[in-house]
Amino acid sequence: MEPRALALADGWTPGQARGDGGLRGDATCDIIRTMRERHPCVYMLASGRLGTIYVGVTSNLVGRIIQHRDGTFGGFTEQYAVHRLVWYDMADTMEAAIAAEKRLKRWHRDWKIELIERANPHWNDLALGLGLPPLA
């Protein structure tokens, strides 16, 4: 099955992903304001271009990215230095975000790479657009 077909299940579409890194002006402010509030989100972190990928879900993306970078929880992202936000998508409900996360985790690695590169071809750290400082 193609990645797009999987993504369209349950009404969730990667085409609505906010991972393009090209937002400017009011759109950026709206996203930063939205992300500081609590809204369901599924996201992918990477150790670098074509590096290790981590798929997660949260109701506070900015807060969760800070936790990953600080090593608050340890585990996979700390062990493999997976701290670069390369893709994310907002969901209407936490249940929808969790379902999307579970689907993405079942995807082949190549499909995840295709989804990331469709929206963020250079694997830029999208957390910068959310007001977080660059990675050290």
Q: How confident is the model at residue 29, as a pLDDT? A: 52
Give tens-digit pLDDT for 42-87.
999 999 999 999 999 999 999 999 999 999 888 999 999 999 999 9
**Residues 93, 90: Cα–Cα separation, whole Å:** 9
Q: How confident is the model at residue 43, as a pLDDT? A: 98
Checking 56-63 for CB contacts under 8 A at 24+ apart, the result is 56/101, 57/94, 57/97, 57/98, 57/100, 57/101, 58/97, 59/94, 59/97, 60/35, 60/36, 61/35, 61/85, 61/88, 61/130, 62/32, 62/35, 62/36, 62/127, 62/130, 62/131, 62/132
Q: How confident is the model at residue 12, as a pLDDT? A: 41
pTM listed for this prediction: 0.76
**Residues 51, 79: Cα–Cα separation, whole Å:** 13
Give tens-digit pLDDT for 1-53.
344 433 433 444 444 444 444 333 454 555 555 445 679 999 999 999 999 99
The residues, any chain, with a CB within 8 Å of residue 33's CB and separated by 6 or more, are: none
Q: How confident is the model at residue 136, as a pLDDT? A: 82
